[in-house]
Amino acid sequence: MVRLKIARGAVLRSGPILIAFLTVVVGWLFVCLALMPTLGVSFTAAFPAGMVALAAALLTYMNLPGYVHLGSDGVLLDWRGKTRYVPFADVQDVAIYKQGAMGKHMIGVGLKLRTGEEVRAPIGENQFGADKRAKDLEARLRAALTSYQHNAEPDHAPALARGDRSDAQWLERLRSVGQGANANMREAPVPLEQLWRIVECASAEPTARAGAAVALRVSLDNDAKTRLRVAADCTAEPALRRVLETAAADDEDRLTVALSRIDR
């Protein structure tokens, strides 16, 4: 999975941030007026020093970067304090946007969803190479989206999805598929390589990919565990990524918990 730096987006939420900053300033002023004389510290020395520290903290906060985690299945946007996963199945288009904020001209890349919503990944002020970085991010997102759209869901994927099963029923079903015990007159066994295709298919339903990973556990050697970890590294959806990682490890309890949280 590729991680790309974006702006934190704090400038676009400047109103609440400035209100919080002014509240802290007023609080510091009260502390200085009420307590500094008692402590024997000069107000004229303490208040400016505190203001410098608060201003430095605000500037640091406003300039901390966020990140785009680009996977084969979608995008995890981390704005520092807020995250959102956007699956490529929900994305209709990708485009650069420009926006004014606090007298600055901001530029970024927007994910246009099929619902009409636009999820924005801000790059920063439209200077100092921000335009080039926005075009690079747009190209990467568009290429990943195109690859996803051309990757058809493999056969047998619906058979591994959770559906209406409880956690216990689903886990029992997946173990039977992995052992070939699900085969009968109406249902063919799922070949090992087909399970791998489902795990590695970004367009397959997340519960089907998680189910295939669990079904594969009965046949995992060291090379197969490495292959499963690679699939996890390419996955942006947090709950699915956790299932793939724990399926490659020998920890039944963690896997059961991770599997129970998928698609919740």
Instruction: Name the residue among 76, 63, 75 with its Cα closest to residue 8.
Output: 63
Give the model confidence (pLDDT) of 154-165 as tens digits. 877 888 888 888
pLDDT classification of 188: cutoffs 50, 70, 90:
low
Are the C-beta atoms of 142 and 94 separated by less than 8 Å?
A: yes
Out of 49-63, 195-209, 222-236, pick the least confident.
Answer: 49-63
Please determine, for residue 145, whether its predicted confidence score (pLDDT) is greater than 70. yes
* pLDDT of amino acid 16: 66
Relative to beta strand 91-101, strand 65-70 is unpaired
Question: Torsion angle of alpha carbons 155, 228, 177, 179, nearest 10°?
Answer: 140
Strands (E), 102-163: 104-113, 118-125
* Separation of CA 260 from chain center: 19
Structure tokens at 252: 């039944």
Please determine, for residue 70, whether its predicted confidence score (pLDDT) is greater than 70. yes
Q: Which residues pair with 94 in a beta bridge?
A: 111
Three-point CA angle 88, 90, 91, nearest 5°? 65
* pLDDT of amino acid 54: 78
* pLDDT of amino acid 14: 55
How far, in Å, CA of 244 to CA of 235, rounded? 9
Higher pLDDT, 47 or 70: 70
What separation in angstroms does the CA of 49 have from each of 44, 54, 62, 119, 263?
9, 9, 20, 40, 50
Region 106-122: what's the mean pLDDT? 94
Share of the chain above pLDDT 90, in %: 41
* pLDDT of amino acid 185: 43
* pLDDT of amino acid 91: 96
Q: What is the SS3 assignment for 70?
A: strand
Higher pLDDT, 50 or 214: 214
* Separation of CA 232 from chain center: 13
Region 80-103: what's the mean pLDDT? 87
* pLDDT of amino acid 51: 78
Region 69-90: what's the mean pLDDT? 92
How far, in Å, CA of 118 to CA of 100, rounded? 17
In sign, the C-alpha dihedral spanning 118, 135, 5, 69 is positive
Please determine, for residue 177, whether its predicted confidence score (pLDDT) is greater than 60. yes
Tell me the whole-structure pTM to 2 decimals: 0.72
Structure tokens at 6: 């974006």
Give the model confidence (pLDDT) of 4-48 as tens digits. 988 875 444 556 666 777 788 778 777 777 766 666 666 666 777
Write down all domains in the chain, each with its CATH number in brackets: 8-63 (no CATH), 65-149 (2.30.29.30), 157-261 (no CATH)
* pLDDT of amino acid 209: 93
* pLDDT of amino acid 198: 92
* pLDDT of amino acid 11: 46
Out of 68-77, 81-90, 118-127, 186-195, pick the least confident.
Answer: 186-195
Please determine, for residue 203, whether its predicted confidence score (pLDDT) is greater than 70. yes
